[in-house]
């Protein structure tokens, strides 16, 4: 039996780690590859905004779902203290005495191996699989491998895999700016959003992929239209484009749920509903959508608030709240008498657009015999006062 292990901080695990690991499993014919997150890495200091050990372990469990024969192991976390590879390899050797043991590492780690704790023991007892982290490293690695073989009797194999040029450090920076999702599996990305790790801001395309299954097919064009309109409005009025795009993507998250599901969510998130009648059900999805967007999809408070008020409006709305309210009202799929005038005003005088549209919306509800939610009157009254 051939067993591999791959240690690191995995803060977070990314496609550089995972594609190298998949190539090693294939090339070496590993029966099992263990990913082992360090407790305290001896070679580097964890930055202040790091994920906790248990979170790095849970992210690895998510990432392993995409790599056959792989598994995350928490042995270094359980052992605690500085994580020495020699101790880990000894533990694995005791557990799998018959196995041929392979240690995976990237070039940066490989080039410092001789300075590791009990490296001579490692060279004698463990085979080493090394992969390049960029296109120019192969020659250097081959030279070092030959030297370790002759000086230390080490058994080293170079793994042939297309390098993915990324590091967790670079990726953490990208995540703060609504980027980097392409280097993460969907499961890891969801985990990061849900736990709001690394100051992440959702990346619209990646967010849409996660949100799409929540949106009924017939509503997807509307959400896409709203997304495009929100971006245009944000650009026009100088609002945060990323927040606007994400709020639009998330605004109808729970609309496909029936009233019972909505009420269960309200209870779960402590939203108290007074005067429960059928009319209020029309607005519940805005409240529950805001809660779910924050709890599961890493939406900021500003984005959640724009989702919360996108159906009713309210007094003293922020620019982002107005943009989402209007984008929902005028997106390209909407066609009803008066929408063209709201569209024109939305790009020339946003408050006038809101006033006209709120008034039209109240009239429409009245004609349909629906009692409007109080906050809509407040929204209109606030803007009318402001205009006087």
User: Does 17 sit near ligand ATP (CB under 6 A)?
Assistant: yes
In the complex, least distance from residue 170 CB atom to ligand ATP, rounded to whole angstroms: 7
User: Does 131 sit near ligand ATP (CB under 6 A)?
Assistant: yes
Decide: 199 and 176 in contact? Cβ < 8 Å.
yes
Site residues (CB under 6 A) for ligand ATP, limited to 145-174: 163-164, 166-169
Q: Which residues pair with 37 in a beta bridge?
A: 8
> Which is nearest to 106 in space by CA: 8, 14, 2, 182?
8
Decide: 286 and 274 in contact? Cβ < 8 Å.
no
User: Does 56 sit near ligand ATP (CB under 6 A)?
Assistant: no
**Helix, strand, coil percent values for the chain (each to nearest 5):** 60, 10, 35
In the complex, least distance from residue 125 CB atom to ligand ATP, rounded to whole angstroms: 18
Q: Which of 3, 4, 9, 75 binds ligand ATP (CB under 6 A)?
A: 9
In the complex, least distance from residue 95 CB atom to ligand ATP, rounded to whole angstroms: 22
CA distance 209 to 216: 13
User: Does 27 sit near ligand ATP (CB under 6 A)?
Assistant: no
In the complex, least distance from residue 109 CB atom to ligand ATP, rounded to whole angstroms: 4
User: Does 133 sit near ligand ATP (CB under 6 A)?
Assistant: yes
In the complex, least distance from residue 141 CB atom to ligand ATP, rounded to whole angstroms: 11
Nearer to ligand ATP, 38 or 361 (CB): 38
CA distance 134 to 131: 9
Nearer to ligand ATP, 43 or 314 (CB): 43
Edge-to-edge strand order for the sheet containing 127-131? 70-72, 32-37, 2-8, 100-106, 127-131, 156-158
> Which is nearest to 211 in space by CA: 225, 229, 196, 193?
193
User: Does 182 sit near ligand ATP (CB under 6 A)?
Assistant: no
DSSP state of 369: T
Decide: 22 and 49 in contact? Cβ < 8 Å.
no
Nearer to ligand ATP, 9 or 376 (CB): 9
Could you tell me how many residues make up the chain? Answer: 388
Decide: 346 and 374 in contact? Cβ < 8 Å.
no
Nearer to ligand ATP, 5 or 287 (CB): 5
Segment interacting with ligand ATP (CB under 6 A) among 4-12, 205-213, 356-364, 375-383? 4-12
Between the CA atoms of 240, 241, 242 and 246, what dihedral angle is there, to the nearest 10 degrees? 110
Sign of the dihedral defined by the CA atoms of residues 349, 352, 358, 363, in that order: negative
CA distance 105 to 113: 10
What string marks each residue from 272 to 311 as x (binds ligand ATP by CB under 6 A) or -?
----------------------------------------
CA distance 114 to 52: 29
CA distance 253 to 222: 12
User: Does 33 sit near ligand ATP (CB under 6 A)?
Assistant: no
Q: Which of 5, 10, 191, 198 binds ligand ATP (CB under 6 A)?
A: 10
User: Does 354 sit near ligand ATP (CB under 6 A)?
Assistant: no
CA distance 147 to 113: 12
Sort residue 203 into left (φ over 0), alpha (ψ -120 to 50) or beta: beta
Decide: 77 and 46 in contact? Cβ < 8 Å.
no
User: Does 109 sit near ligand ATP (CB under 6 A)?
Assistant: yes
CA distance 338 to 316: 24
User: Does 89 sit near ligand ATP (CB under 6 A)?
Assistant: no
Nearer to ligand ATP, 9 or 262 (CB): 9
In the complex, least distance from residue 149 CB atom to ligand ATP, rounded to whole angstroms: 19
Q: Which of 4, 16, 53, 289 binds ligand ATP (CB under 6 A)?
A: 16
User: Does 373 sit near ligand ATP (CB under 6 A)?
Assistant: no
User: Does 375 sit near ligand ATP (CB under 6 A)?
Assistant: no
Segment interacting with ligand ATP (CB under 6 A) among 71-79, 100-108, 266-274, 314-322? 100-108
Q: Which of 73, 105, 327, 380 binds ligand ATP (CB under 6 A)?
A: 105
User: Does 85 sit near ligand ATP (CB under 6 A)?
Assistant: no
- The footprint of ligand ATP (CB under 6 A) covers 8-11, 16-17, 20, 44, 105-106, 108-109, 131, 133, 163-164, 166-169
């Amino acid at each position: 039996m051939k067993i591999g292990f791959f240690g690191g901080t995995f803060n977070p695990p990314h496609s550089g780690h995972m594609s190298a690991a998949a190539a090693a499993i294939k090339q070496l014919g590993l029966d099992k590859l263990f990913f082992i997150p360090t407790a305290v890495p001896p070679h580097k200091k964890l930055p202040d905004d790091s994920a906790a050990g248990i979170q790095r372990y849970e992210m690895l469990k998510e990432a392993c779902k995409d790599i056959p024969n792989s598994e995350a192991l928490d042995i270094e976390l359980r052992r605690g203290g500085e994580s020495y590879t020699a101790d880990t390899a000894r533990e694995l050797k005791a557990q799998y005495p018959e196995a041929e043991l392979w240690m995976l590492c990237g070039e940066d780690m490989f080039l410092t191996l001789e300075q590791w704790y009990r490296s001579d023991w490692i060279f004698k007892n463990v085979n080493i699989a090394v992969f390049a982290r960029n296109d120019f490293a192969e020659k250097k690695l081959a030279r070092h491998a030959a030297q370790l073989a002759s000086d230390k009797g080490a058994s080293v194999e170079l793994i042939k895999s297309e390098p993915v040029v990324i590091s967790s450090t670079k990726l953490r920076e990208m995540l703060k700016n609504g980027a980097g999702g392409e280097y993460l599996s969907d499961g890891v990305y969801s985990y990061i959003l849900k736990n709001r790790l690394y100051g992440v801001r959702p990346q619209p395309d990646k967010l849409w992929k996660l949100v799409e299954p929540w949106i009924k097919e017939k509503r997807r064009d509307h959400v896409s239209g709203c997304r495009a309109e929100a971006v245009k409005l944000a650009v026009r009025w100088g609002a945060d484009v990323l927040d606007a795009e994400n709020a639009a993507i998330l605004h109808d998250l729970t609309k496909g749920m029936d009233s019972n599901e909505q009420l269960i969510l309200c209870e779960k998130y402590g939203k108290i509903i007074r005067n429960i009648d059928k009319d209020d059900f029309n607005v519940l999805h805005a409240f529950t959508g805001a809660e779910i967007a924050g709890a599961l999809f890493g939406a900021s408070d500003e984005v959640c608030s724009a989702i919360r008020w996108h159906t009713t409006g309210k007094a003293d709305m922020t620019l982002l709240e107005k943009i989402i309210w209007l984008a929902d009202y005028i997106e390209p799929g909407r066609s009803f008498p008066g929408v063209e005038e709201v569209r024109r005003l939305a790009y020339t005088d946003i408050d006038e657009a809101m006033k006209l549209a709120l008034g039209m919306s109240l009239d429409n509800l009245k004609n349909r015999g629906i009692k409007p939610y109080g906050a809509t009157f407040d929204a209109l009254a606030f803007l009318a006062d402001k205009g006087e």
